[in-house]
A and B are shown apart, each in its own frame.
Chain A
Amino acid sequence: MFHLNNSVDVKPREGVDHQTIETVKNVGSHYRHGWETEIEMEYAPKGLNEEIVRLISSKNDEPEWLTEWRCAAYHRWTELKEPNWAMVNYPRINYQDQYYYAQPKSFEQKPKSLDEVDPKLLETYEKLGIPLREQMVLAGVEGAGESPADGRKVAVDAVFDSVSVGTTFQEELRRAGVVFCSMSEAVKTHPELVRRYLGSVVPMTDNYFAGLNSAVFSDGSFVYVPPGVHCPMELSTYFRINAKDTGQFERTLIIVDQGAKVSYLEGCTAPQRDTSQLHAAVVELVALEDAEIKYSTVQNWFPGDENGKGGIYNFVTKRADCRGDRSKVMWTQVETGSAVTWKYPSCILRGAGSHGEFYSIAITNNHQQADTGTKMIHLGQNSRSRIVSKGISAGVAQNTYRGLVSVHPKAKNCRNYTQCDSLLIGDKCGAHTVPYIELRNHASRVEHEATTSKVDDDQLFYCRQRGLGEEEAVALVVNGFCREVLQALPMEFAMEAQQLVAISLEGSVG
């Protein structure tokens, strides 16, 4: 599928200088998180069958109902077909030729606290810049645990291959009533919540990859925010794939009760390898009456090298169910990594007056392919949704926005506004827009706008006229292109995201 030809000539366009092309080229080849942690791992045997599913379940000491749920999912999965409608192209995946479970050997006896965790693992996260010690996130703030009045804290659940390494700030969160732990822990401590909500937003038969995940998911994060509680800090999960030939199948479940509020961040990286690895996650969000969830992702999986070798196949199902009236869910994503991305974070706007938002920046370079977008299903009256998607395509990459806005006959007075913009850098890449719009009542309004262009000459001319240098002008225009989405990110992430975007746009910034 990938061209192995190294000498892809990219003709720079007017206003985009050679430096830009070079810097953009470097996004893929200079992957900062491509190193590997050498640690002794324990694997489940290669391949997938019912025994493996049962083995994964027993590793997590799961109750019988969950084991049976997994097995049912496995059997339904064998009847499902791998989707092929996305504008992505990758060699057939041999699902029997990979490991479905990998945990560091030191996890045979689960560590009770972070102090017992293998220092090598802690080092891994330190190197990635993820604060596993309970410390202030922002630079210059010292001391763990105690927070100055203006400091911001982030609780982290760190997932390494198939297991959760540890979750920070659990005690402080517990005092607020917030449950934030790994999925395997939640099954034990809050079985009634897990049983009630697991698979209720993304059923096991939803799609091929969700089915696979339902059968073999190994860990992930669980969040429950009780009624009226505004979560006192940002919650975050950091996913790291380390083991070779191993897929990561995490499952995240976030339930936010009446009037509660949470902001959740998700980050991901993987070592640089020349074979592709599969990542098939499922994220389920449930927002009850007046609840608010902000879910932000900076996806920086290894994108493969400049020849398209290796990289992560990111096949993720993310969906929010706005069950309660006036509930609100906001998805923000910055997609810079992965060889292939297949991801559509969606909102089912069931509650009256519920609100869904989707902000996305997808950058593809070299041989990366991304088919991403969202679905806004308006079922409740007065529901609102807003979609802002920015796609940037460089090298020989393909970048597709695919989205659905559907307003049902009984969902009166709904509003949707969609804006999808694509920017092409270089003449070998592609940018595509595939929106589906379905309006079934006359009291609602749906608007969709999309543009595809290179850096606009008129805007450049305007800036140049006012005395800006050419590169400064390009910087202004290109930065403006992404701003709407960057502004929607929580501060902690905005920094990282801006840096990631800046790498690809640095040349134009000058």
Chain B
Amino acid sequence: MVDMTEIRTHLSQFEAPSRHLSQDGKEAPLAPLLPEQSQAETRWKDVGLPTRRDEYWKYTDPGVFLNFSPQTTEFKRENSPLFDGDVINIAAAAEGFVVKDGLATEIKIDNLSDDKMANSQAIRQIYGKLESQAQDMIPRGLAALNTHQASRGMVIECPENSQATVQLLMTDERKVSTGSMIHHVIDARAGAQLTLAEIGTQASQTNIVYEIRVGEGASVHLIRAARLSEAKSAHMCSIFADVAASGTFNSFALSAWSPWSRQEYVVRLKEDEAKTSLSGAVLGREDCHHDDMVLVIHEGQNCQSRQVFKKVLRHNAKGVFQGKILVRQDAQKTDGYQISQGLLLDDESEFCAKPELEIYADDVVCSHGSTSGGVDETQMFYLRSRGIAENEAQELLSMAFLSDAIEEVADEQVRVRLDEWAKEWFVEARSCQP
């Protein structure tokens, strides 16, 4: 049974979808923007919101997110871009997403709340579809809730063989005490190439959903590196991707400033020769909680998947990784790889992992590894004996540890910048050691 009071309390923390408010400002019955949204209502009411008893919330308390009181967002950090040069820059605003420069010529970018979206082909075929098909294996109530309630989001359509790099700068300028629900839809048709970076600061509580369809031979690279400065925030992001024949979906996330975050990935390699690489670098301190939950489903033959997740944890931080490679019976010649590692810099930190394999095809090579522990004493000794101070040596080793995940990003310029951002974290961590 779904506890409606609890859901109402949770929902009241989020911005009211602008078109849902009646003239006199009183709470009006929720009218969804799109027909697909009303279907999602039954879905989240069926699966309910997550509880601690759910198998995939074993190591993460959903109560922290559900009962979070959003803070007024204040931006102390200057947002430096991840990409320079020939990119499309988009800024997030209260009313939607605005193209600032590098106007799209090849690709089409719309706001979810646009009236014409009700008839959009991308919406019809993707919105809520990828999310709903992922529900049958593991309940994802928060994603379904987002599908029903989201009032903002981008709809990016990439025509065949188009190329574009989009940089989304999240600057929620409203400074109000609400969370935000954002739902992006990306349709990359055959041969299209899209790189999408999401940077900047977010509202203190976000529930973000990405639904991404990667067409034949197309490729989508998603880089998320939000740099936040709030002491309190809670972020939930669900990424659903369907990859067609010879398509590629890559995702990298740097999570360093969020005190509570959970990323859920569901990547379905639907047809032959599809590929995916999912990676994440996490830096956690001061009671941080970072959870990555990955499900890669191999359906086509000769598909490849990689997962590389690295977490550096200190000052009572907790890192969680739950990843599963599921290989269906027909997905022969699958190559699946997964590594999850936790580096604990002190005794208060904690790393929990559940790396799973579920395999129904015999001609496959699948492996996973998971290691966790402190800094290697021999390496430490080597650096110390060469006159490097202890905390510096620890940083060097931590950076080396993270580099495996950052290396998964193809663009060198981006890698260098991500490296710099990670180093910044260490500088900050040094200055506020308890």
Contact = CB atoms under 8 A, between A and B. Distances in A.
18 contacts: A427-B363, A428-B329, A430-B358, A437-B351, A437-B353, A438-B350, A438-B351, A439-B344, A442-B344, A442-B373, A445-B372, A446-B371, A448-B353, A449-B367, A450-B355, A451-B366, A454-B362, A454-B364
Interface in A431-447: 431-447
The 6 closest A-B pairs by CB, nearest first: A445-B373, A442-B344, A442-B374, A424-B362, A433-B357, A437-B353
Contacts of B362: 13, 424-427, 429, 454
A432 B359 contact: yes
A438 B55 CA distance: 15
Given A428-B329, A431-B359, A442-B346, A448 B371 contact: yes
A431 B357 contact: yes
Contacts of B352: 436-439
A453 B356 contact: no
B356 A432 contact: yes
B362 to A, nearest CB: 4
A437 B370 contact: yes
Contacts, number: 116
Interface residues of A, number: 35
A131 interface: no
A88 to B, nearest CB: 14
Given A437-B352, A439-B351, A451 B360 contact: no
B361 A427 contact: yes
B415 interface: no
A435 B354 contact: yes
Nearest to A401: B357
Given A433-B368, A450-B367, A427 B332 contact: yes
Contacts of A440: 350
A427 B357 contact: no
Contact of B369 (A13, A85, A448): A448
Contacts of B332: 427
A453 B346 contact: no
B115 interface: no
Interface string B327-353: 001001000000000101111011111
Interface of B: 55, 59, 329, 332, 342, 344-347, 349-375
Given A429-B360, A450-B368, A452-B365, 16 more contacts: A13-B362, A427-B329, A427-B332, A427-B363, A432-B357, A437-B351, A438-B59, A439-B342, A439-B372, A439-B373, A441-B344, A442-B347, A442-B375, A445-B372, A446-B370, A452-B367
Nearest to B355: A435
Interface string A1-40: 0000000000001000000000000000000000000000
Contacts of A422: 357, 359
A442 B349 contact: yes
Nearest to B58: A436
Contact of A13 (B55, B353, B359, B363): B363
A409 interface: yes
A97 B371 CA distance: 47
A242 to B, nearest CB: 37
Interface string A434-478: 111111111111111111111000000000000000000000000
A432 B358 contact: yes
A432 B360 CA distance: 8
A424 B332 CA distance: 12
Given A450-B368, A451-B367, A433 B374 contact: no
Nearest to A402: B356
Contacts of B361: 424, 427
Q: Which of B347, B349, B357, B374 has the most CB of A within 10 A?
A: B357
A427 B362 CA distance: 5
Contacts of A445: 371-374
Nearest to A407: B372
A450 B358 CA distance: 12
B177 to A, nearest CB: 35
Interface string A104-138: 00000000000000000000000000000000000
Contacts of A447: 369-371
Contacts of B55: 85
Q: Which of A427, A437, A447 has the most CB of B within 10 A?
A: A437
Q: Which of A85, A425, A426, A448 has the most CB of B within 10 A?
A: A448
Contacts of A431: 357, 359
Contacts of A426: 362
Contacts of B59: 438
A296 B370 CA distance: 28
Contact of A441 (B347, B353, B366, B369): B347
Contacts of A429: 360, 362
A450 B143 CA distance: 31
Nearest to B369: A449
B355 to A, nearest CB: 6
Nearest to B322: A436
Contacts of B355: 433, 435, 437, 448, 450
A450 B354 contact: no
Contacts of B369: 447-450
A452 B366 contact: yes
Nearest to B353: A437
A431 B360 CA distance: 7
A373 to B, nearest CB: 12
Contacts of A442: 344-347, 349, 373-375
B354 A446 contact: no
Contacts of B374: 442-445
A452 B364 contact: yes
A416 to B, nearest CB: 10
Nearest to B350: A440
A439 B344 CA distance: 9
A432 B328 CA distance: 12
Nearest to A424: B362
B377 to A, nearest CB: 10
B372 A437 contact: yes
Contacts of B351: 437-439
Nearest to A453: B365
B398 to A, nearest CB: 12
B392 to A, nearest CB: 18
A507 B360 CA distance: 22
B357 to A, nearest CB: 4
Contacts of B354: 434-437
Contacts of A434: 354, 356
A88 B47 CA distance: 23
B148 to A, nearest CB: 30
A453 B366 contact: yes
Contacts of A432: 356-359
A428 B359 CA distance: 10
Given A85-B55, A442-B346, A442-B347, A435 B360 contact: no
A102 B428 CA distance: 71
Contacts of B375: 442
Contacts of B372: 437, 439, 445-446
B364 A453 contact: yes
Interface in A79-97: 85
Interface string A267-311: 000000000000000000000000000000000000000000000
Contacts of B368: 433, 448-450
A454 B363 contact: yes
A87 to B, nearest CB: 8
Contacts of A436: 352-354
A326 B185 CA distance: 58
A435 B358 CA distance: 12
Contacts of A13: 362-363
B351 to A, nearest CB: 5
Contacts of A437: 351-355, 370, 372
Contacts of B373: 439, 442, 444-446
A85 B370 CA distance: 23
A58 B224 CA distance: 69
Q: Which of A429, A431, A443, A444 has the most CB of B within 10 A?
A: A431
A445 B361 CA distance: 33
